[in-house]
Amino acid sequence: MTIFKTFMKMLRANAGSLVVYFVVFVVFGTISAGANAQKTEQSFKEEKMDVLVKDEAHTELSEAVIAYIKKTENVTETKNADDRINDDVRFGIADYAICIPKDFEEQPEKIRYISAENSVSSVLMTKKLEMYLTDIEEFTGNGYNLTDAISQADRLMKEVQDTKVTLAEQKEKQGKGYFYSMFNFSAYSFMMILCISIGLIMGTLRGTDLVRRISCSSYSFQRRNAELFAAIFVMGLGMWMLFGIIALVAGAGHGDGSKFLYYMLNLLVLMLPGIAMGFLFSTLTEDRGVLNMLCNMVILGMCFISGVFVQKDLMSAEVISTSKFFPLYWFVRANELIDTNSIGHIVQGEFFTCSLIQILFAAALAGAGLTVMKIRDRA
């Protein structure tokens, strides 16, 4: 087991340069996951708005409107000028404001609504008030006096508010889970560690002096390669398990962990193109500086266009089409399938396709590495 032990000794000797990528994963991976994860259990939650009301009319209709709003929102009556009220809404002191003019009962359409821009809650609030006033107008137009019209409108609105909404179980959920973001970000650190460690060690092992000494030893060609590949895969599995433990600890308490093993399976598949890419880089250069530059240039580029660092919905169709020629696109796509599908619908055709394409990338990269190595050996 000389080659195996030598590989592990070299790995320990280069551990210092690899720790930084673990730190990047732990720090920035958890930050990214915490920022991007959307807690779907809070996506359908009723909240009360802080509403300012300026009533200059003080009539039965204006008081009915205020009473109606108080049933569902936090209402504060004010006598401030309209400009002051507008500033309160714009600067977030209040969520919404209503200004009722003196002639409101004669001309209800003169009521003013002040809301923050691009606020869905404000739009719904305006529609709700417009519906309430329309109901009162329709009842008075059909012969009801104002008091009875208000009573009938209150009854109708109460029926609407009492409506219960039941969300049906969906095959796909909306939003991104914590583990989805965590494992997506892991692709950068995982690939960098595999490529740099394998590139450095195999480049060193192929040094002229070492090659001659190993060739003169009693080790057969098959035994040397068997020990070398065993060391590479043991290292890869060790890194894979370490990344999984870090993700599991960091994700504790962040939602459902029932899909964790599927993410781990996908990361295990990514290990293959990561190892193959490291092998290819080792055949191109033995220089540490050049290797680091090559790894950063290729892997960072893949991460930016494949959805690791930048969400796909922010990228153009041309960029996404280009990213399909890299293994990280299919890794991210498999993570999306895990995140958006229920457990019973994950391991299906498209998931297998993503895994198979990653394995084919690994085979192609390994083949390219063997070709380069053969050419260099002949030279």
3-state secondary structure of 251: coil
Spatial separation of the C-alpha atoms in residues 52 and 245, rounded to whole Å: 51
Interatomic CA distance for residues 61 and 154, integer angstroms: 12
Q: Which two tokens stand for residue 129?
A: 């008030």
Q: Could you tell me whether strands 112-115 and 74-77 are parallel, antiparallel, or unpaired per DSSP bridges?
A: unpaired
**Residue 75 to residue 250: CA distance in whole angstroms:** 42
What the chain holds in terms of domains, given with CATH numbers, is 2-38+174-378 (no CATH), 50-161 (3.40.190)
CA–CA dist 82, 322 (Å, integer): 54
What is the residue-level pLDDT of the chain in tens, covering all 379 positions?
777 887 788 888 878 778 888 788 878 777 776 766 554 444 445 578 899 999 999 999 999 999 999 988 899 999 888 889 988 888 888 889 999 999 888 888 889 988 876 677 788 888 888 898 999 988 888 888 989 988 988 888 887 766 555 555 444 444 577 788 888 888 888 999 899 888 888 877 766 566 666 666 666 667 777 888 888 889 889 989 998 888 888 877 666 677 888 889 999 999 999 999 998 998 888 888 888 899 989 998 998 988 888 888 788 889 889 999 999 999 999 988 888 887 777 777 888 899 999 999 999 999 998 898 888 777 6
Helical segments of the chain, H only: 2-13, 15-36, 60-70, 82-90, 120-141, 146-161, 178-205, 208-216, 221-250, 260-284, 288-306, 317-323, 327-340, 349-378
